[in-house]
Amino acid sequence: MARIDDTFSALRANRKKAFVAYIMAGDPDYNESKELLMGLPEAGVDIIELGLPFTDPMADGPTIQLAGQRALNSGQNLEKTLQMVQDFRSKNNVTPIIIMGYYNPIYSYGVDKFLSKAKLVGVDGLIIVDLPPEEDSELCIPAKNIGLNFIRLATPTTDENRLPAVLKNTSGFVYYVSITGITGVANASSANVSPEISRIKKETDLPVVVGFGIKTPEAALEMAKVADGVVVGSAIVEKIAQGESNKSVLAFVKSLAEGVHDA
Amino acid sequence: MTGDLLNSFTVGPDESGRFGDFGGRFVSETLMPLILELEKEYENAKIDSNFWKEMDDLWANYVGRPSPLYFCERLTNHFSGAKIYMKRDELNHTGAHKINNVLGQILLARRMNKKRIIAETGAGQHGVATATVCAKFGLKCVVYMGAHDVERQAPNVFRMKLLGAEVIPVTSGRGTLKDAMNDALRDWVTNVEDTFYCIGTVAGPHPYPEMVRDFQSIIGKETKTQMLEQEGRAPDTLVAAIGGGSNAMGLFYPFLDDLKVSIIGVEAGGKGVNSKMEHCASLTGGRPGVLHGNRTYLLQDDDGQILEGFSISAGLDYPGIGPEHAWLHESGRVNYVSITDKEALTSFQLCCELEGIIPALEPSHALAHVGKIAPKLPSDHIICMNMCGRGDKDIFTVAKALNFDMDFS
Ligand SMILES: Cc1ncc(COP(=O)(O)O)c(C=O)c1O
């Protein structure tokens, strides 16, 4: 079972780029969030990043910080986030789900217990922002051993010397962070990102997906021309913050997906 | 590492920045190259005699080191037990121990050609020290401070502004030191080219805990020499207050391998160390977790969400503690206790009345513990506590707590 690899193979066969959407699990509450999650594949989302809320998200801007707080205030936790994946999997067995967040809730839950449960409920991959290659023995290697993809971030500060270490235990895809900075603040430029992607592609056969700072269908389309996929997070979460209905959030998601799939 | 540590408590951290299981480098990939560069630069500076010559000169002529070691005669008589000494780091320029470390980091920033300095601050003492040294060297200074702390440490906010720093109030969370550190880290990942992050305590990713400890160790080194001059021997007991733990590490470190010296760290007990978590006693009331780049003891809930903590003292109001303390706690070398807001306030007043020293609320916690143990100890037992800051910044907070009307108009 390798939903992420299968997804990229299928997209490649159709000469299409991947659209990856981020939402925070439990934002604004469990039921609303679950309904949105369920609707993402039909809106054109190829891969789902499901945010695991944390009180101190060091790499996130205000939009995702607040989403995490809304989720925590509504009673979301790690257990319920895994439950949400299980609920999703009872209806959908193809769309990959990646848990994205910070290490402490997982460490607190217990790494082994978390990994076996995540595997069991149908999680495909992990993006844990505060675990660089230097800390691979904490979660990356155990995740790999149990058959979960550990997707690493490569950033503008990842130079030639570091890139091999960053790529070494990465699987599924490489997530290129388009800007130095936090989520949802600056705008990414495809002209700046394009040479960086070529640089990474020289070192790996994995797909390279770009995220951070992509907010509109137009920007998503431009970025999809130079990458294997595009992630949008804060722009979607912002709609939820404004109290928009799931129907209207999904309409926005659909417009983003169409942008990416037109590239 | 464990093998070496059987012989010494001073060899940590190992090459991956660990003190036993604690410490490490839990940061995003964007920051990783920056902390590796900093580590390299610090390793070079450490063995560069010119670097230390410059430090020594600034410590002597700008900060006013060595700070005195002072025998507290009236406090000793008051408790009628052990002999009480204070290491007077509150007499440093800017009024606390924080500047010892800031000078070291700013000299490093200069070596690395970084022109913009960022810092987090709780009580404002680290912010003031950073703003001061930046003014001296003509560097741009941006200080992140929790909005709640901006309010309760107003004199320090004005000081920083006078010194030319930009103070950014942080409203996320409860608006205290933890939140200020989050936003400083967010600034750093955004401004990677020109910015140096000057951390104010022995926490954060490797090499910060080691580097800050080394810069603060001047406190313990001087204490060792001065005690030998005044008493002809080492102290029997050391006591220091702990926020992140830098003044404590500074005093303790040179004594760690002298096993005759009993060492006590004092955490902030807030309203009392109970299940309501209205305190900041990470070691007494927390468990291991990962935050701000290192693994250490943290106040957290069952889901691994970080709790806010509570203390009257802004400088101790932090839900974590430096990783080396976590390790010293588990190895049993240092004993960690807690003191409540109320006990600290009583000692604050006692120190003013008996010694003519207005202490900061942070070392008032240390003094309160001294007051608990001194009466039970013999008169030839020597206690040395770290008077790590003066209380000017706290007079409004204390006045409020004592229901004293500050409006003299
Ligand atoms: C006077 C004083 N003491 C102690 C502290 C706590 O920090 P640390 O535990 O790193 O010494 C502060 C922090 O602001 C302080 O200003």
The whole-number average pLDDT for the span A118-142 is: 98
User: How far apart (Å, rounded) are the C-alpha atoms in residues B369 and B287?
Assistant: 23
Q: Which residues of A touch B302 (CB under 8 A)?
A: 108
- The SS3 of residue A61 is coil
Q: How far is the CA of A92 from the centre of ligand 1 (A)?
A: 53
At B301, is the pLDDT very low, low, confident or very high (cuts 50, 70, 90)? Answer: very high
User: What total number of domains does chain A contain?
Assistant: 1
Is B388 annotated in the active site?
no
Q: DSSP state, B45?
A: H
CB of B356 within 8 A of CB of B377?
Answer: no
Best B118, B195, B290 member to test A by mutation, with max A CBs in 10 Å, is B290
Task: Provide the sign of the torsion angle of the four alpha carbons A221, A226, A228, A234, taken in this order.
Answer: negative
Domains and CATH numbers, chain B: 29-59+98-212 (3.40.50.1100), 62-95+217-401 (3.40.50.1100)
- State the residue for tokens 């006591």: B239
The whole-number average pLDDT for the span B128-147 is: 98
At B6, is the pLDDT very low, low, confident or very high (cuts 50, 70, 90)? Answer: low
- The SS3 of residue A148 is coil
Between these two residues, B272 and A4, which has the higher pLDDT value?
A: A4
pLDDT higher than threshold 50 for residue B348:
yes
Report pLDDT for A157: 94
Please report which residue ranges of B217-322 form alpha helices under DSSP H.
218-231, 246-252, 282-285
- CB distance B26–A103 less than 8 Å? yes
pLDDT higher than threshold 90 for residue B77:
yes
CB nearest A135 (choices: B24, B289, B305): B24
- Report whether residue B96 contacts ligand 1, using a CB cutoff of 6 Å: yes
Report pLDDT for B296: 98
The whole-number average pLDDT for the span B22-29 is: 98
- Which domain covers residue A191, as residue numbers? 3-262
- Supply B73's token pair: 């005669």
Report pLDDT for A194: 95
Q: Report the percentage of chain B scoring pLDDT > 70.
A: 98
Q: Report the percentage of chain A scoring pLDDT > 70.
A: 100
Best A128, A180, A187, A200 member to test B by mutation, with max B CBs in 10 Å, is A180
Q: Of B93, B97, B148, B352, which residue is the catalytic one? A: B97
With 0-12 CB in 10 A as exposed, 13-18 as middle and 19+ as buried, what is B272? Answer: middle
Report pLDDT for A78: 98
Report pLDDT for B51: 98
CATH code for the domain of A226? 3.20.20.70
Contacts of A147 (CB under 8 A, 6+ apart): A1, A119
With 0-12 CB in 10 A as exposed, 13-18 as middle and 19+ as buried, what is B93? Answer: middle
Give the pLDDT confidence of A57-90 residue by residue, as tens digits.
Answer: 999 999 999 999 999 999 999 999 999 999 999 9
Is B384 annotated in the active site?
no
pLDDT higher than threshold 90 for residue B304:
yes
Report pLDDT for B1: 44
- The SS3 of residue B281 is coil
Report pLDDT for B314: 86
- Report whether residue B250 contacts ligand 1, using a CB cutoff of 6 Å: no
CB of A126 within 8 A of CB of A139?
Answer: yes
User: How far apart (Å, rounded) are the C-alpha atoms in residues B371 and B358?
Assistant: 16
Give the pLDDT confidence of A158-213 residue by residue, as tens digits.
Answer: 999 999 999 999 999 999 999 999 998 888 889 999 999 999 999 999 999 999 99
At B409, is the pLDDT very low, low, confident or very high (cuts 50, 70, 90)? Answer: low
pLDDT higher than threshold 60 for residue B4:
no
At A248, is the pLDDT very low, low, confident or very high (cuts 50, 70, 90)? Answer: very high
Q: How far is the CA of B273 from the centre of ligand 1 (A)?
A: 20
- State the residue for tokens 């550190």: B181
Give the nearest chain B residue to A76 (CA atoms).
Answer: B303
Q: Report the percentage of chain B scoring pLDDT > 90.
A: 89
- Supply A100's token pair: 């994205």
Report pLDDT for A229: 98
CB of B77 within 8 A of CB of B374?
Answer: no
The whole-number average pLDDT for the span B120-144 is: 97
pTM metric for this prediction: 0.96
Q: Report the percentage of chain A scoring pLDDT > 90.
A: 97
Ligand 1 atom 10: residue of nearest CA:
B246
Report pLDDT for A62: 94
How open is the CA angle B180-B182-B185, to the nearest 5 degrees? 110
CA distance, residue A155 to nearest chain B CA (Å): 6
User: How far apart (Å, rounded) are the C-alpha atoms in residues B87 and B241?
Assistant: 13
At B3, is the pLDDT very low, low, confident or very high (cuts 50, 70, 90)? Answer: very low
Between these two residues, B272 and B238, which has the higher pLDDT value?
A: B238
Q: Supply the mean pLDDT for chain A.
A: 97
- The SS3 of residue B95 is coil
Strand partners of residue B399: none
User: How far apart (Å, rounded) are the C-alpha atoms in residues A5 and B201?
Assistant: 45
**ipTM score over 0.85, yes or no:** yes
Q: Is A75 left (phi over 0), alpha (psi -120 to 50) or beta?
A: left
pLDDT higher than threshold 90 for residue B172:
no
- Report whether residue B163 contacts ligand 1, using a CB cutoff of 6 Å: no
User: How far apart (Å, rounded) are the C-alpha atoms in residues A93 and B227?
Assistant: 71
User: How far apart (Å, rounded) are the C-alpha atoms in residues B283 and B338?
Assistant: 9
